[in-house]
């Protein structure tokens, strides 16, 4: 259990949120209505996807206050607390790509496959392109092709051919490139990487306890963020870290754990230094 | 070192060109797809919806209106429906809009894609929901397949209409074929029809002979050339009327000169 405690928690939030959305449409539950694009919590608190809102603003939409407040709430939550946690704790596509990458490891596909070079920065380019195309076409461009939206909307309101999009992502991750969608292409992941760069909830590494087994790097979907492993202690500060805690689970030496304080301390130190 | 310099520059330029090229490729595929899927001229939107281009801009595809609808009239477009993915619409022949008095689908919209003002009226100084102001589309009768136009008595659509005698009325005409019967022809009045589709749902023919189309499809536009001179309100359009003059070779000369010139005749 200890080895999968965070995995269970992540699946619990991911699936729990989807069940609430499904129940809202199918049985009229009023805990969490709508979907991940925009929802209503307990029939009072509006919540909204800040990246969808940004695209709509680029498209030139005049928006009501509800959705703006909702997007601000979510943006604040991820900016201050969660970081890029949306990707591994909420996004339904995470389950598809985790399955593909688990299968990839089991089958050893990465060992036989010739590495295709792809830049991690592709997602930022796609993000910028989504905003520019939204402005040019006069509607939220990524929302019309987003497999994430197709998945959570599909589960609450009917999937249609949306299953095809999930299969594409699955095959893409399984056969084209490791973590191809979430780690390289997805503009929403890029958006949250930037938004959550300075969040307080961080993985912290203790280099003293590390035995350099490198299991964490093997399992990490964003390996670059763990560059300090075994070299120096400190928080994982790169925005690309999704706080998925796979590195924490896999570590046999307690060299990795979540920490809010270390980040806080560091900021306090920095402000002191400046003063 | 001297040899490496142009190589680096070449690498840099090539990688830049590659980035630009790939971005252009992606943008073209993406925009072509978006342009294709946003075109759905026959889609019927929920009550109070903005004009289609603005609606597509403003709708965040959350489905709160769908959940608010007590009759399951509204559905979100799924991939494969050939409608803009995730946006709400309804198919009146399956489930029409039952025109709730309190219009629950409109106030839940978080973005303002469904506009409250467009479906409220001020009655005795108080803002009140007014579903009769709704304008989702226009019912159109196909006189060929409507059996009332054959002379068979059927007033299903007329009786199904929530605005009976206002949005659909019956026109009595003499049936010359039999000489002793009357046609009871349904006539839709565009200014009152809300596009709810209850008539389309009620129609008895195999495929509905009365059906709702979006206003942009169902309605023509007169333009500035014709104005009802007997109608004060319509005459006001004259103020903003724009003339249109075509210029051809003949316009170079005055009309009188052109008419008096008989040269061409000989």
The verdict on B84 touching A (C-beta cutoff 8 Å) is yes
Q: Mutation target for B interface from A30, A35, A51, A187: give the one with most B CBs within 10 A.
A: A35
Least confident of A136-150, A220-234, B94-108, B204-218: A220-234
Q: Please name the residue that has the structure tokens 């252009």.
A: B24
pLDDT digits (tens, 9 = 90+) for B224-266: 888 888 988 888 888 887 777 778 877 777 878 777 777 766 6
Residues A146, A222, single domain; the answer is no
pLDDT at A251 over 70: yes
Average pLDDT over residues B51-56: 88
pLDDT at A110 over 80: no
Asked which of A167, A194, A221 is the last residue of a domain, the reply is: A194
Residues A62, A150, single domain; the answer is yes
pLDDT digits (tens, 9 = 90+) for B20-50: 888 888 888 888 888 887 777 788 999 989 8
Contacts of B48 (CB under 8 A, 6+ apart): B103, B106, B114, B115, B116, B118, B119, B134
Residues A92, A139, single domain; the answer is yes
Residues A35, A146, single domain; the answer is yes
Contacts of A82 (CB under 8 A, 6+ apart): A89, A196, A199, A201, A243
Residues A146, A263, single domain; the answer is no
Query: Which of B19, B37, B64 lies closest to A144 in CB terms?
Result: B37
Average pLDDT over residues A14-20: 91
pLDDT at B210 over 90: yes
Query: Which of A64, A145, A161 lies closest to B110 in CB terms?
Result: A64
Domain B52-133: give its CATH code: 3.30.70
Note which residues in 174-203 of chain A have CB less than 8 A from chain B.
none
Positive or negative torsion for Cα B66, A186, A170, A247: negative
DSSP letter string, A219-244: H-TTGGGGTTTTT--EE---TT----
CB pair distance less than 8 Å for B110 and A70: yes
Higher pLDDT, A270 or A36: A36
The verdict on A149 touching B (C-beta cutoff 8 Å) is yes
Q: Please tell me the distance in Å from B117's CA to the nearest CA on chain A.
A: 13
- Pairwise CA distance, residues B38 & B57, whole Å: 10
How buried is residue A124: exposed, middle or buried, by Cβ count under 10 Å (0-12/13-18/19+)? middle
Residues of A within 8 A of B78 (CB-CB) are 154, 157-162
Helix axes A93-107, A147-157, angle to 10 degrees: 120
3-class DSSP state for residue B169? strand
Residues A210, A188, single domain; the answer is no
- Pairwise CA distance, residues B181 & B175, whole Å: 5
The verdict on B100 touching A (C-beta cutoff 8 Å) is no
pLDDT band at A260, cuts 50/70/90? confident
Note which residues in 80-119 of chain A have CB less than 8 A from chain B.
none
Q: What angle do CA B241, B242, B246 make, to 5 degrees?
A: 145
Residues A204, A189, single domain; the answer is no
Domain extent, residue A237, equals 200-274
Higher pLDDT, B188 or A199: B188
Note which residues in 206-225 of chain A have CB less than 8 A from chain B.
none
Asked which of A147, A169, A194 is the last residue of a domain, the reply is: A194
| Structural domains counted in chain A | 2
CB pair distance less than 8 Å for A53 and B60: yes
Please tell me the predicted confidence (pLDDT) of residue B4.
54
Please tell me the predicted confidence (pLDDT) of residue A264.
64
Q: What is the ipTM of this complex?
A: 0.81
Residues A30, A150, single domain; the answer is yes
- Pairwise CA distance, residues B241 & A79, whole Å: 54
pLDDT band at A250, cuts 50/70/90? confident
Please tell me the predicted confidence (pLDDT) of residue A263.
58
CB pair distance less than 8 Å for B60 and A156: no
Please tell me the predicted confidence (pLDDT) of residue B5.
56
Domain B138-218: give its CATH code: 3.30.70.20
Strand partners, A45: A41
Q: What angle do CA B36, B80, A140 make, to 5 degrees?
A: 50
List of E strands, A106-156: none
Q: CATH number of the domain that A216 lies in?
A: 3.30.70
Q: What angle do CA B93, B49, B163 make, to 5 degrees?
A: 55
Domain boundary assignment for chain B: 52-133, 138-218
pLDDT digits (tens, 9 = 90+) for A168-199: 989 988 888 888 888 888 999 999 999 988 88
User: Which of A27-31, A82-86, A161-165, B207-211 is the most confident on average?
Assistant: B207-211
Residues of A within 8 A of B90 (CB-CB) are none
Q: Mutation target for A interface from B24, B53, B63: give the one with most A CBs within 10 A.
A: B63
Asked which of A194, A221, A236 is the last residue of a domain, the reply is: A194
Please tell me the predicted confidence (pLDDT) of residue A275.
67
Residues A264, A160, single domain; the answer is no
Could you tell me how many helices (H) and strands (E) chain B has, helices first?
8, 8
The verdict on A19 touching B (C-beta cutoff 8 Å) is no
pLDDT at A75 over 60: yes
Positive or negative torsion for Cα B115, B116, B119, B124: negative
pLDDT at B1 over 50: no
- Pairwise CA distance, residues B149 & B168, whole Å: 15
Please tell me the predicted confidence (pLDDT) of residue B161.
92
Average pLDDT over residues B76-101: 88
CB pair distance less than 8 Å for B112 and A40: no
Burial B184-196 (b: 16+ CB within 10 A, else e): bbbebeeeebbbb
Percent of chain A having pLDDT more than 70? 94
């Amino acid at each position: 259990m200890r080895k999968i405690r965070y995995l269970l928690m992540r699946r619990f939030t991911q699936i729990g949120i989807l069940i609430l959305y499904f129940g809202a449409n199918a049985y009229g539950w009023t805990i969490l209505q709508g979907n991940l694009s925009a929802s209503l919590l307990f029939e009072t608190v509006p919540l909204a996807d800040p990246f969808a809102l940004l695209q709509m603003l680029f498209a030139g939409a005049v928006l009501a206050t509800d959705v703006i407040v909702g997007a601000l709430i979510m943006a604040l939550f991820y900016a201050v607390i969660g970081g890029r946690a949306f990707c591994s704790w909420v996004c339904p596509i995470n389950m598809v790509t985790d399955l593909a990458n688990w299968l990839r490891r089991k089958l050893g596909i990465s060992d036989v496959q010739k590495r295709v070079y792809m830049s991690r920065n592709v997602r930022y380019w796609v993000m910028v392109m989504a905003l520019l195309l939204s402005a040019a076409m006069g509607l939220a461009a990524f929302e019309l092709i987003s497999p994430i939206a197709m998945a959570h909307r599909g589960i609450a309101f009917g999937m249609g051919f949306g299953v095809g999009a999930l299969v594409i992502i699955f095959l893409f991750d399984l056969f084209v490139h490791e973590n191809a969608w979430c780690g390289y292409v997805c503009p929403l992941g890029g958006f949250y990487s930037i938004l959550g760069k300075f969040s307080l909830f961080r993985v912290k590494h203790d280099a003293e306890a590390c035995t350099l087994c490198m299991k964490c790097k093997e399992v990490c979907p964003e390996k670059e963020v763990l560059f300090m492993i075994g070299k120096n202690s400190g928080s994982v500060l790169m925005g690309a870290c999704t706080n998925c805690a796979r590195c924490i689970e896999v570590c046999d030496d307690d060299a990795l754990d979540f920490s809010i304080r270390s980040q806080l301390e560091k900021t306090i130190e920095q402000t002191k230094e400046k003063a | 070192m001297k040899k490496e310099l142009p190589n680096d520059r070449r690498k840099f330029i090539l990688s830049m060109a590659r980035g630009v090229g790939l971005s252009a490729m992606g943008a073209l595929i993406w925009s072509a797809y978006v342009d294709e899927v946003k075109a759905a001229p026959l889609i019927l939107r929920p009550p109070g919806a903005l004009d289609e281009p603005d609606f597509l801009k403003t709708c965040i595809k959350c489905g709160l209106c769908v959940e608010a609808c007590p009759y399951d009239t509204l559905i979100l477009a799924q991939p494969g429906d050939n409608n803009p993915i995730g946006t709400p619409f309804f198919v009146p022949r399956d489930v029409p809009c039952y025109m709730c008095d309190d219009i629950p689908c409109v106030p839940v919209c978080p973005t303002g894609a469904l506009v409250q003002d467009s479906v409220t009226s001020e009655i005795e100084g108080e803002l009140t929901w007014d579903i009769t102001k709704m304008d989702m589309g226009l019912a159109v009768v196909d006189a060929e397949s409507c059996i009332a136009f054959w002379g068979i008595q059927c007033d299903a659509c007329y009786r199904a209409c929530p605005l009976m005698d206002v949005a659909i009325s019956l026109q009595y005409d003499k049936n010359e074929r039999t000489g002793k019967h009357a046609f009871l022809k349904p006539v839709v009045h565009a200014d009152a029809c809300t596009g709810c589709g209850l008539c389309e749902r009620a129609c008895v023919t195999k495929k509905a002979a009365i059906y709702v189309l979006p206003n942009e499809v169902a309605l023509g536009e007169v333009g500035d050339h014709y104005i009802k001179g007997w109608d004060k309100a319509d005459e006001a359009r004259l103020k903003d009327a724009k003339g249109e003059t075509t210029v051809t070779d003949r316009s170079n000369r005055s009309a009188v000169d052109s008419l008096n010139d008989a040269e061409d005749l000989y």
